[in-house]
Amino acid sequence: MAGSNSVNQVVTGFADLIIQWQKQHGRHDLPWQNTRDPYAIWVSEIMLQQTQVTAVIGYYQRFMQRFPDIASLAAATQDEVLQHWSGLGYYSRARNLHRAAQIMVEQHAGRFPYQMEQIQALPGIGRSTAAAISSFAFDHPEPILDGNVKRVFARHFLVEGWPGLPKVEKQLWQLAESLMPQTEVVAYTQGLMDLGATLCTRSKPRCGECPLHASCGALVQDKVKQLPAAKPRKALPEKSVTMLLLLQGDEILLEKRPPSGIWGGLWSLPEVETGIDVQVSASERYGLETEQLPSLPVLSHAFTHFRLHITPQPLRIIGNLPRLQQSSSVMLSRKDAIGAALPTPIRKILRELGSA
């Protein structure tokens, strides 16, 4: 019994320190805080996946102004949703957000589901995101485990190994479950997130200001820099591609990407393998007669799993050959093209083209 009381004291003490610190020093003025609206909380949590708060704020405000509720998001076209997401990256998040809104209209009468299992069943919502929504919107004591929280737990409780490994993640989830208080759920959940984002950072953590410094195993054993263990490094594969800038006066041809995969559903530039005759490709694909212009500088862009090297190749359209145009392509003015739902590297290429 004494052992059980000791464990309870550790759990209560940990949670109390987090809650007290959050109330005094945590973040309270972010645009998605101070609301119980599950829709607003959901949008923010999806945007914050693998993206820093400072990058999200502007996107969140514009997105919520255009899509203030489930109904408006569900009724929008995917192209419009992607346009408001353009530049934020990881575009499957936007496609999942759109589809989830449609599912809520179809299956939940346009309301955000209340049960944890129903929340987690929506596209793009994993256990930790569902728990955050459930905690912030409905005050349910559900444990979270995002990247910041994993770092706090790994350091405080000396959890060895890369958190992405299943056995390490399982250990971290067990900690998250055991430490979850039944009251002050919002302050505790927000406090864990804030602690990892502002003090217990990956580099240059401010341990002296941390409410957990007295009991932090990594600080006591001088392992703060070693924990959590880094992901095993692998050399990123390199891929090269040539992208065609098909120009006619002030207009440029954009092509719709397939609905899934890299940049799924976004507008982009036509791609050809590096080394292919670009004028022949333009003729065969689009029925266009072109004049080749000087290439633009190679642009490199790193994805999670590979690095892409893009050679932008401008071609001036000088004549249309007797061939049907593809329905997935469109000619737009450069200004309209830059404002379309584009991946960030493509928008950068179009801007450089305008200044060339």
Distances (CA, A) of 339 to 60, 260, 307, 345: 18, 22, 25, 13
Structure-block tokens of residue 24: 């005094």
Which of 45, 142, 184, 255 is catalytic? The answer is 45
CA–CA separation, 12 and 191 (whole Å)? 14
Q: What type of residue is 180?
A: M
The answer to whether residues 132 and 47 touch, using CB atoms and an 8 Å cutoff, is no
H or E element in which residue 118 lies: helix 116-120
CA–CA separation, 311 and 314 (whole Å)? 10
Sequence-ordered list of residues with C-beta below 8 angstroms from that of 79, at least 6 positions apart, any chain: 265, 341
Peptide bond into 211 cis (omega under 30): no
CA–CA separation, 169 and 163 (whole Å)? 5
C-alpha closest to that of 104 among 113, 116, 117: 113
The gap between the terminal CA atoms of the chain, to the nearest Å, is 76
Structure-block tokens of residue 282: 């333009």
Active-site residue 209, yes or no? no
CA–CA separation, 55 and 190 (whole Å)? 19
CA–CA separation, 226 and 231 (whole Å)? 12
The answer to whether residues 44 and 60 touch, using CB atoms and an 8 Å cutoff, is yes
Residues classed as catalytic: 45
